[in-house]
Every structure is written in structure tokens, then in C-alpha cells.
Structure 1
Amino acid sequence: MITVSPKSRQPLRKAWTRERLLYERSLALSFALDTSSKASYSSALNSYLTFCSLHTFPVEPTEETFSFYITFMSAHIEPRSVDSYLSGICSELEVYYPNVRQVRQSHLVARTLRGCKRRFSKPISRAQPISKTDIETVHKDLSRSDLHDDILFLSLLLTGFYALMRLGELIWPDNNDLCQYRKVSTRDTVHHNHSGYDFVLAAHKADAFYEGATYLATKGVSPELIRRTGRWSSSAWEAYVREHPVLLQSIVFSGHSTNSPA
């Protein structure tokens, strides 16, 4: 039996009852997903339940049911969206069917999804990244305006572009159920100085890829600094660079490497 070292200075804490442990763990699990993610996952689960009801399949996930679901849904929506739906379905059903992720990763399910992507997927169409010229054009048109909405829009655009902020960090959701004050940067955290301003960015989960990254890359800013400024994980940053040829070209011509330092 492993015992606590006699030299260890552990603080004295009162033991919790099992009921208290279960209750506190339930609270912790309820905070594991962001509210917006919960809404998306619930929508995905409803899609799966509707499919099962329509075809009189049992709800319990099996390789065959998931494979049929992928085939059916891919004929109606983008298969890449079906892939995202499966993540939400697994998250929602895991409590009731612990093996659901093994089913999701099975050979049949994976090959069905891969085949549907090749059969139904359409090329991704991306807008051109926002350029410094675009910013200057908007600034020229709105900087002299006295209208509150014009000033607000210009402030959001400049702040989001140069600070690599997510759209969800700049605006308030239309859906009241998704509004959370813990994500709001309060005005008392704003500080002005001769060179600019700063504020405390509250906790947030949203789309990390704002186009200011491309502009910084064209100016020779190192990829590692861009990654840290944008608050991306190394894997997400590498994927973003691979999928955006303009950004990759800017990094290559600046003489930097896309890899993070060891």
C-alpha cells in the first residue's frame, strides 16, 4: 500500500461525502462545454434522433447505424458538416453509450465518411483576407462620422484586425441564451497610453482565425509571435498555415519557419 510521505505537508481538509463528490463533479462536467457548443451538439443529436425515428432504427449507436446516417445526411448537406455532427452526437450519447467513440472511429464509419466526402463535398470557397488597403478605405470613410454605429464598427474592425481577435470576442450574440457576462471585457480594464490602448480579454471560445494574421506575416512578423498573439495551439496554427496559401507564401518569403521553437 502506498502511504503519504511523513515529510509531506498536506493541508488539513474535511472529507466530502460521496453525495457531495457526485454533486460537485456534475457541476464540473456541466461547465466542460461552452454554451454555444452545447447548443450545436444538441442540434446534431436531434438530427441523429430524427434519422433513427424516420428509418425505425434503434437509437443505440452501431457501426451500421452511423454508416447509414452518414450516407443519408451527406446526400442533403455538406459531408464536412456531417463529420462535425458526429462529434456532437458522440458527446451527447457518451453518457448513455460509453462505446460510442469506438463506433465513431470504426473502419466502416471512417470509410463511409471518407467516401461521402469524395462523392458529395464541394470545394471550399474563401473570401480574400482583409488587407491594409481595406482597413484604410474603411477608416477614410468612417473616421469623420459622428454616428455611434460608424464609430463602433470602425473600433471593432481596427481592434479585431490588429489584435487578432475572434469575432465572438468583439460582439454580443443575438441569441440571449448564448450571452455570458464572463466573456465580456469590461471598460474598467481599458488603459490608454501614447502608443495605443489595451484591455483584459475575458475567457472565450470562438473562431480563432482572423485575417490580421496574413497582414502580420507580410510585414515579417515571426509565425511564433503571430501564433501566440492569436492564441492558437501549435496544431491549429500549422493547419491554418497549410490551408491559407497567401499566409504561407508571406511566411516563406519573409525567411521564417512555420514551426514553433522546440
Structure 2
Amino acid sequence: MCWLSIKKFDITDLHVFMDDFYSWEKSNNLITYQGVSRPKNQARLLVLWDAIGCPWEEKKQEFGEKLKIIGFWVDINQGTITLSEDSAADIVSKIESFIETPSRRPPLRNWQCLAGHLNWLLNVLPWGRPALTEMYWKMSGKDTMHAGIYLNKEVIADMNWLIDIILKSMGVRFLDTTRWHNSAADMVIWTDASLKLGMAFVYAGNGFAYQMAPEETSTKIDIFFLELIAILSAIFHVALFLHPPRRLLIFTDSLDSVAVFNSLGASESLHNSVVRAVAGIILQTGIDLKVCHIAGPIYYLDYFLMNIDENFPQTVSANLSPLEVFCRRDGVEKSTASGYATGARDYVKFCIKHNIPLDPTPQTLARYIAYTSRFIASGPKYLTGLRHFIRNFYPNFDNNRAHPIVQATIRGSKKVRADLIRRKQPLRPHHLTEFVNTARRTAEYDDLLFATMMSCCFYACHRLGELVKKTAKEPPDWRKIIKRSSLKFTPGYAGYHLPYHKADPFFHGTDILFTHQECADPVLLLQEYVKSRDKFHGLRRALFIKRDGSLPTRSWFKSKLFAFVDHSFGGHSARAGGATYYASLGISEDIIKALGRWSSAAWTTYVHENPCVRMALQLAALKKRC
């Protein structure tokens, strides 16, 4: 019947559980059926039932902003699923009666009955799952329903903990429980532990370590427990922030820990107690936690752990205020931070391999540069990434890097690695003409999109990353994407707002303005493209959008480009071509820098047509002086 309703009556988002049907409808989309004003889809379902002779009762045709579905109250506007106070109180009463059973030996049927109620409860209190672990262990392997099972202290402790959180933390916001990509995390922490040394976690340039002290105890402490404690410590630390992150991502090299937080249950009481402690923090703060595995050793944590001694402070770096950490998290672009991490990892590996202290003294930095120059030419650049991660630990890093010994080693390494610089060729106006002619010939939407983007890239000297995403899997950062609403046309001009670029880290944005050009006129192309774009995609936010509705990616852009040119060209060829084109016209350096949003003279590396272009530049400079 549900299939018939969806396929034949076009009742969208209809769901069924046993004999209960439910769906949603906009509050203003009501119609009258059999004298009652009701949601349109509900009325259509009743029409179907009447048509096939299926009986129904008016009292069961419920609707509203908050509705009870299979025992749960669902608030569609708040996005919550909860139990009523009476239902919660009833479950608490059942738990209390269970743990107060005379002789503390309730029969198996009572255990199973309560477990069924609690499993139902987990739909609105998933973080209550650790409380059921001990209960399942006690019931496992038993099948005599009237036989009593002894209540041990672990089960009683779990039940009391569950009672404590039920009335405080009841409810799930289903709008917030969707899976999110790692790149969407508000904060990332790395944790690690060692049985002999201790535990540590790091984030945003901060490192915290705890030294293990040998102690006689009957409780067996294993590495799994310490890995869990390291994660708990990190979560507890973050929960004390003035503004805790909404989405917290923790990386650990312990697969067992990842499995525990995926299932919210551990195989031993000692481990389960840690999960229960984490659950309490999560329920209190509302942090959305995700624990992921990172393969291989976490080198900077290993270094902290290997260098702990009796004088090692519990806090490795100076504490930053939570607000400062909150601001610093977005201080560096994620792509830049990823590149910085490469340099930091390489330096730490070097120190570990050669048994050298991590302290970046001039001698250590010079040795590192000399060592890397044997393999790569980017060793000196790695120092920038290293600085980003350890400058809080070693405030003298900048002075040490500027030391004559280090600078002399860097100069020498550049001579050792005097690799040939290979830059991509700039595009020419005739390339743009070819792109446009192909779009005209094929009449394909994506070909027109590509020709328009190439024209904009060329004449506005765009970086490729300003118009496309890096990968299809990468979630879009709407702060950086050019919006359709920003596109404006005036007589003889077209323009849009570029919300972000490399030289504008604070999102002030830049207004891009195009004029008519002889080759691949960007004004006419934008007019033609946007007409086709609006036909297919209407009010979608992005200006540049593919026929299938996805945003253009770097790989898509290059596949289109390499259909016309060879690999001596690349993603930045349009930007280089624009700079070369303007330079060949004799436009002054200041204007070219402004057109390409360059903050330095780096644009000159894009000018390939020496000496003709250089001569034009000199003439423009002379005219400016006159």
C-alpha cells in the first residue's frame, strides 16, 4: 500500500512502520477532506484508502508540528526526537525497581524485559549505550527464563549512571546527527599513549603530556586503556573551553579505540568506564565527536613521549586562552596547513632518525637543510611549515633560522639542488578563440562554461582555485565561491564579486569588472552563459556550475584544457597568459598587479615573452614618468 501511495498517488516522503503511516507537509499546504482541514498528502492518502475500501478512523489521522510516532515525540521544526516526561519517568521507575529486586537476583526474563526497554530508549539517547554493556555480559549464554542472575556492582553503577543522565540529556537532534566529512571539523586533536612513557595530545600548536609513574596495583593497565584515557583527556580539556567546538575530530593510532567509539561499547569494565565518562561529557556539552584512525606513528607525539623526564611539565606549551585557540584555528587555510604539516613531519623524522633533540638550534637547522638537500630542493621551504607548528615551543625559532650558519647552508643547498625551473606556458588569445569556437560548434553547456571560465581567468588573471574546487569530494566552502547573485551587467561591462583570494585572507573580497575584448569577449560570454545557466539551475547559489549541478573541479577543468593543448600548459596558464597579454600592451606594473591581485612582484614570473614584453613594460614606465 505504501508503494502504491508513492508510485501512483505521488505522495512523497511517505514512510510506514507496521500499520502506521507518516510523512511531512508544509504548514500552509492544507486542504479540506470530509469536513476536516488536513495536510494535502494526508488527504490524498485517505482518498486512496477510500478508493480501495480500506477503513480508517478520524481519531488516528493526527498531524501537527509535534507528533508522536511509534512512541517518540518528533518535533519537525526543532529537529528533535524525544520521550515524554511520563515515558522517561516510567523507564526510570523500571530501572529502579530492577536494581532494588529483593536478594539482588532478578530472573532472566526481567533482565531481558528491561534490556528491551533500554534498547528502545537508545533511539533518543544513543550515548546511553555504554550502560548496557555489563548487562549484556551478565545475560550472555543464559536461557533459563526463571533463573535468577546476580546483580553485581558494575551493573548497578551503570544503571545509576543511566538514571542520572536520562532526565538531563533526553532527546536527539536529528538535524545535527548527519555524518560529516573530516574537513568540516571545528577542531582536530591527535592523541597517543605509551605503556612505559605516558600519554599526550596535541592541537593547534599546543601539546600536553602526562608522564606515567610506576605504581603497584592489582588492576591491569593495558595500552588500550591508556589510549582511551588519552582521548578522554583531550575531550575533557576541550569541554572546558569558553566556546567548545561543535564538531570535534580526534585522530588516534589505536584501531581498538576507534571501534569502541563507533559502537559505544567496550569488552571490559575498565575500558567501558572510560567510554561512559566520555558519554557524560558529550551529553553535557553537545559536542559532536568523531574518532578516526591514523595509520603509522604520530611522530610529534612520539617525540613528546620519548623526551618525558621527571622535570617535564604536564603542559608542554604555554596555555592559550580558549578564545585565542578558537581564532587561531582559522588563522591558516587548511590547504596551507596541510603543506606546513609535511615540513613539520619531515623535520621530526629527521630528529628521531639521527637522535637529535627537537630544539631548532642554528646547528640543528643547518644540519637538517644539508641533509634534505641530498634528496629534495624544498628543504628550506619546509622550515616555514616547521615554524607554524613549533614556534610556541621554541620562541627563538625565527632568530635561529636567520642565523648566518643557517642562511649560508640554505644558499649552499640551492647550489647543490640547482634544479631547472619548469613553468607552464601562458595561454594566448588565439587559444581563447579556439575554446569559444568549440563551444559554439558543440552547443554543449559544459563547453560554454569552460570557455566562459577561461575568458574570465585570462582577463581577470584569476588563480584557478578561485573558480574551481580542488576535488569533487571536498565540501564546498561557500565563503570562497563566486555567487550568481553578485553578477551584474551594465552597458559595456560585466562584473561579479570575488569573495576571497590568496592575498585577501580576511574575506574582504574584490569586485571583478570586465570590458569588451576582441578575443573571447568575457562580457558577451557571461551574458550567454548565465542565460543557459539560469535555465538549468535557476536560483542555485554558485555562478559557475556544471550541467549536472556539481561545482567545477580542478580535474574537470584540466581535462577540458588538455583536450586543446599539451601538458606544457597547466591550470595557471590562463593567469600567466593574462599577465603576459597585459604586459605586451605596455600596461604599467602597478595596474597589472592590481588586475591580478598580486601583493608583490611575483607576477613578473608569469611574463614569458622576454625581451619584447620587457621592452613594452619599460616604455609604459617611461610614459608614466612623462
Instruction: Identify the TM-score tier after normalising by the shorter chain.
Output: 0.7 to 0.9
Quick one: distance in 2 between partners of 1:132 and 1:40? Answer: 34
More helix by share: 1
2:356 paired with 1:61: no
Quick one: distance in 1 between partners of 2:386 and 2:621? Answer: 38
Contact 2:343-2:385 at 8 Å conserved across structures: yes
Give the counterpart of 1:112 among 380, 386, 409.
Answer: 409
* 1:199 counterpart SS class: strand
Change (3 A) 1:208 1:136: closer
Quick one: distance in 1 between partners of 2:395 and 2:406? Answer: 17
Per-residue deviation, 1:248 = 6.7
Quick one: distance in 1 between partners of 2:470 and 2:386? Answer: 24
Per-residue deviation, 1:97 = 0.7
Per-residue deviation, 1:174 = 1.4
2:470 paired with 1:173: yes
* 1:246 counterpart SS class: coil
Quick one: distance in 2 between partners of 1:170 and 1:52? Answer: 40
Kindly provide the CA deviation profile for residues 203-249 of structure 1, in whole angstroms up to 9, marking residues without a partner as x.
Answer: 2227999210110121232322211111112xx22x43267452774
Contact 2:469-2:476 at 8 Å conserved across structures: yes
Segments of 5+ residues of structure 2 without an aligned counterpart are: 1-241, 244-319, 504-570
Per-residue deviation, 1:61 = 0.9
Higher relative CO (Cα under 8 Å, sequence separation at least 6) belongs to 1
Which residue number corresponds to residue 74 of structure 1?
Answer: 373
Per-residue deviation, 1:127 = 2.8
2:321 paired with 1:22: yes
Quick one: distance in 1 between partners of 2:376 and 2:364? Answer: 18
Change (3 A) 1:143 1:60: farther
Change (3 A) 1:161 1:82: same
Contact 2:359-2:394 at 8 Å conserved across structures: yes
2:430 paired with 1:133: yes
Give the counterpart of 1:190 among 487, 498, 505.
Answer: 487
Quick one: distance in 1 between partners of 2:336 and 2:415? Answer: 27
Which residue number corresponds to residue 47 of structure 1?
Answer: 346
Give the counterpart of 1:223 among 560, 568, 589.
Answer: 589
TM-score where L is the length of structure 1: 0.80
Quick one: distance in 2 between partners of 1:230 and 1:133? Answer: 21
Per-residue deviation, 1:71 = 1.4
Contact 2:467-2:482 at 8 Å conserved across structures: no
Quick one: distance in 2 between partners of 1:98 and 1:176? Answer: 38
Change (3 A) 1:223 1:102: same
Quick one: distance in 2 between partners of 1:178 and 1:59? Answer: 36
Give the counterpart of 2:609 among 246, 257, 261.
Answer: 246
Quick one: distance in 1 between partners of 2:610 and 2:486? Answer: 32
Quick one: distance in 1 between partners of 2:494 and 2:352? Answer: 55
Change (3 A) 1:190 1:248: farther
More strand by share: 2
Q: Calculate the aligned-residue CA RMSD, in Å.
A: 2.8
Segments of 5+ residues of structure 1 without an aligned counterpart are: 1-18
Deviates more, 1:92-101 or 1:137-146: 137-146
Which residue number corresponds to residue 5 of structure 1?
Answer: none
Per-residue deviation, 1:96 = 0.9
* 1:144 counterpart SS class: helix
Letter in 2 for 1:227: K
Contact 2:438-2:447 at 8 Å conserved across structures: no
Letter in 1 for 2:352: S
Letter in 2 for 1:65: T
TM-score where L is the length of structure 2: 0.35
Letter in 2 for 1:218: S
Contact 1:169-1:183 at 8 Å conserved across structures: yes
Per-residue deviation, 1:100 = 0.9
* 2:442 counterpart SS class: coil
Per-residue deviation, 1:26 = 2.4
Kindly provide the CA deviation profile for residues 24-73 of structure 1, in whole angstroms up to 9, marking residues without a partner as x.
Answer: 32223222211211111112111111111121212121112211211121
Identity %: 27
Quick one: distance in 1 between partners of 2:475 and 2:357? Answer: 32
Contact 1:62-1:103 at 8 Å conserved across structures: yes
Change (3 A) 1:243 1:105: farther
Per-residue deviation, 1:158 = 0.8
Contact 2:343-2:386 at 8 Å conserved across structures: yes
Change (3 A) 1:230 1:139: same
Which residue number corresponds to residue 257 of structure 1?
Answer: 621
Give the counterpart of 2:337 among 33, 38, 58.
Answer: 38
Per-residue deviation, 1:140 = 2.0
